[in-house]
C-alpha cells in the first residue's frame, strides 16, 4: 500500500516483552518462589520451575473457557499471579476460581517433587505473586520513547490476553496515561495476528491503517498481523531472533531508543 501523501497519525504498541518485559521477570519470580521449597526440602529450584509450565497448562486446559483462552492468548502463567477477571469479560476467573487454580497448580508442582505441604504451597503462591508484581516495570527506555512520541502522535496499545490482567500490567508499570486507547484481545474475542484487535484500536483512534504504525516483539502476532492490514511494522527484536515465515517487517530494531527516528522516517 502506497503511503504517498499520507500523514502518520498514530503509533500502536504491543505490551508484553515490548514495553514491559515478561519472560525474564517471570522466570526470576518463579525461581524465588521455588527457592522456598529448596530451603525446606532441598529440592532443585530450577528443576521445580521447569515443571510449573506443564502443571499450569494441564490445569488451565480443563477450564470451561479454555478455547477462548487459546484464541485470545490468555496464559496459565498469568493465572498464577494475576488478578481475577472482570465479570463482563466472560472468562470465568473470579477471585474464588483463580485462588483455587493457584492452589491446585502449585499442589501439582510440589507433588511432582515429592512434597505435600499446604502451608508451604500457600506461602509459595503469595511469594510468587508479590515478586512477580514487583517486576512489572517498563523497559528502561519505554517511558522516554512514549513521552517523545506522544507529543506529535496519538498512541494505542494492542495486546493479547485477559483485559483485567493486561490493564493491571499497564497500570503497575505506570504507562497507562500515555495511551488514547487500549485494546486487549479479550475485549474483542480474538487475538493478534487476527485483524480485529488492530481494527478496533484504529477505529477508536479514528485513523486508517496507512496512517498508523505497529511496534512489537512478536513476528507472528505483531509484524504479520500489521502487515496483513497494510500497517507499517517495526519488529522489536531485542534478542536477535531469526524472522519467521510471511512478509518482512518494514523495520527491525534492537532497542526502543531507535523508534523516534524511525517514526520520523515513516512520517516523512
Cite the residue boundaries of each domain of the chain with CATH code 3.40.50.1000.
10-21+137-267
pTM of the model: 0.94
Q: Is 240 exposed, middle or buried (0-12, 13-18, 19+ CB in 10 A)?
A: exposed
DSSP H/E element including 133: helix 118-134
pLDDT in tens, 96-126: 999 999 999 999 999 999 999 999 999 999 9
Which residue has 518462589 as its cell numbers?
A: 33
**What is the rounded average pLDDT of the residues 86-93?**
87
Compute the Cα dihedral for 184, 187, 190, 193 and give only its sign: negative
Place domain 10-21+137-267 in its CATH homologous superfamily: HAD superfamily/HAD-like (3.40.50.1000)
Dihedral over Cα of 182, 134, 150, 233: its sign: negative
What pLDDT does 149 receive?
A: 97
pLDDT bin (cut points 50, 70, 90) of residue 89 is confident
Return the CA Rg of the chain: 20
Cβ-based burial of 12 (10 A; exposed 0-12, middle 13-18, buried ≥19): buried
Q: What is the pLDDT of residues 144-175, one digit of tens each?
A: 999 999 999 999 999 999 999 999 999 999 99
- Residue 221: Cβ within 10 Å count: 23
Helix (H, G, I), strand (E, B) or coil at 226: helix
Chain-wide mean pLDDT for the chain? 95
- Rounded to an integer, what distance in angstroms lies between the CA atom of residue 165 and that of residue 74? 9
Amino acid at each position: 500500500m502506497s503511503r504517498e501523501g499520507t500523514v502518520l497519525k498514530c503509533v500502536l504498541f504491543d505490551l508484553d516483552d515490548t514495553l514491559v518485559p515478561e519472560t525474564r521477570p517471570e522466570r526470576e519470580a518463579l525461581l524465588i518462589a521455588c527457592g522456598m521449597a529448596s530451603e525446606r526440602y532441598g529440592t532443585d529450584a530450577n528443576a521445580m520451575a521447569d515443571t510449573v509450565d506443564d502443571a499450569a497448562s494441564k490445569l488451565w486446559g480443563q477450564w470451561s473457557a479454555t478455547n477462548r483462552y487459546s484464541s485470545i492468548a490468555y496464559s496459565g502463567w498469568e493465572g498464577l499471579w494475576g488478578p481475577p477477571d472482570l465479570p463482563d469479560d466472560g472468562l470465568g476467573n473470579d477471585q474464588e476460581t483463580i485462588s483455587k487454580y493457584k492452589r491446585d497448580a502449585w499442589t501439582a508442582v510440589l507433588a511432582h517433587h515429592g512434597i505435600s505441604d499446604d502451608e508451604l504451597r500457600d506461602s509459595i503462591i503469595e511469594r510468587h505473586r508479590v515478586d512477580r508484581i514487583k517486576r512489572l516495570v517498563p523497559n528502561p527506555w519505554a517511558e522516554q520513547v512514549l513521552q517523545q512520541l506522544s507529543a506529535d502522535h496519538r498512541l494505542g496499545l494492542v495486546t493479547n490476553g485477559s483485559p483485567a490482567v493486561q490493564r493491571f500490567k499497564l497500570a503497575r508499570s505506570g504507562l497507562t496515561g500515555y495511551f488514547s486507547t487500549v485494546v486487549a484481545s479479550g475485549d474483542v474475542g480474538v487475538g493478534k495476528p487476527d485483524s480485529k484487535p488492530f481494527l478496533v484500536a484504529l477505529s477508536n483512534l479514528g485513523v486508517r491503517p496507512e496512517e498508523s504504525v505497529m511496534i512489537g516483539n512478536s513476528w507472528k502476532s505483531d509484524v504479520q498481523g500489521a502487515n496483513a492490514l497494510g500497517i507499517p511494522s517495526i519488529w522489536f527484536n531485542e534478542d536477535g531472533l531469526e524472522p519467521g515465515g510471511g512478509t518482512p517487517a518494514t523495520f527491525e530494531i534492537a532497542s526502543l531508543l531507535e523508534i523516534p527516528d524511525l517514526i520520523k522516517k515513516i512520517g516523512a
